[in-house]
Amino acid sequence: MKHSRRTFVKQTLAGALLFGTAPAINAWPSNVIKPKAAKAVNPFQLGMAGYTFVNFDLETTLKTLQRLDIHYLCIKDFHLPFDSSAEQIRAFHDKCASYGVTGYAVGPIYMRSKEEVDNAFEYAKRVGVKLIVGVPNYDLLPYVNEKVKAYDFHYAIHLHGPDMPLYPDATDAWENTKDLDARMGMCLDIGHDLRNGCDPVADMKKYHSRVFDIHIKDVTDSTKAGVGIEIGRGKIDFPAFISALREVNYTGVCSLEYEKDMKDPFLGIAESIGYFKAVSDSI
């Protein structure tokens, strides 16, 4: 069942009252600083999917991440082109570092030929990351698998819900990677997974051994009609999902991929990050 902001607050307060843990009104003297509740310890990191900023330059992207206290970015080629020189790559990383941001992966990168697979792996190697978020044609999976072994990379297949025939949900990605190298897995896009009629919480628990990256987002419906919305306003049960991340000890990155109002996304990004952080810290 979906947890709305109001439901989340009501349930928290109701539980406190039920077990006698709610503080009495005016229980603390006005001159005494009330102790803050300890924040939950999360094994995962919070990041940003570069696609969120498809309409903005790197400077704007990094300033936004800095203001939100986000330190991880999945790199898209519009911020760092595939043909970037060693000097351009160095300058990119230096600029990210000046804002306290690390580029932890590249992608999503579509791969429709062996040449595109070769180029993607060489690009990731030159950029200096060990994770590729990719979308290879099904017939290329054996070739990608050999590349993963040769480069010692992790490869996370991005889910696309009902919008594309390739990798619509977590089950499809699992079925196509379970017999391949253990470094072949998925980027669990929880919004697209839900839009294909699946349960992201159950899928996280079931397939966690092959989940190497996560795109967090919320959507308005669990069908193809669902569209992106601020986290906490849609159909995804984030308290349950965050609990599942802890249960399976997911240690990767959860990157916000915000796809509503992409030409003016900043308020929605801030709201989404704030909600995710608040829930993560409080359950």
Q: Which domains are seen in the chain, by residue range?
A: 42-282 (3.20.20.150)
Q: What is the pLDDT of residue 23?
A: 41
Give whole-number Cα distances, 101 to 34, 62, 71, 170, in Å: 34, 7, 4, 29
| Cβ atoms 215, 188 nearer than 8 A | yes
What is the rounded distance in angstroms from the CA atom of residue 168 to the CA atom of residue 274? 29
As a whole number, the mean pLDDT across the chain is: 90
Summarize pLDDT for 123-155 with one digit per residue, the tens.
999 999 999 999 999 999 999 999 999 999 999
Q: What is the pLDDT of residue 246?
A: 97
Rounded to 5 degrees, what angle do the CA atoms 100, 104, 109 make? 135
| Cβ atoms 66, 268 nearer than 8 A | no
Q: What is the pLDDT of residue 40?
A: 77
Summarize pLDDT for 202-233 with one digit per residue, the tens.
999 999 999 999 999 999 999 999 999 999 99
Q: Which SS3 state, helix, strand or coil, does residue 133 take?
A: strand
Kindly list the averaged pLDDT for each block of 10 residues, start to end, along the chain of length 283.
47 39 43 62 95 98 98 98 98 98 98 98 98 98 98 98 96 98 98 98 98 98 97 98 97 97 97 97 89
Question: Among residues 68, 56, 132, which one has the least CA distance to residue 101?
Answer: 68
What is the rounded distance in angstroms from the CA atom of residue 145 to the CA atom of residue 183? 8
Q: What is the pLDDT of residue 35?
A: 58
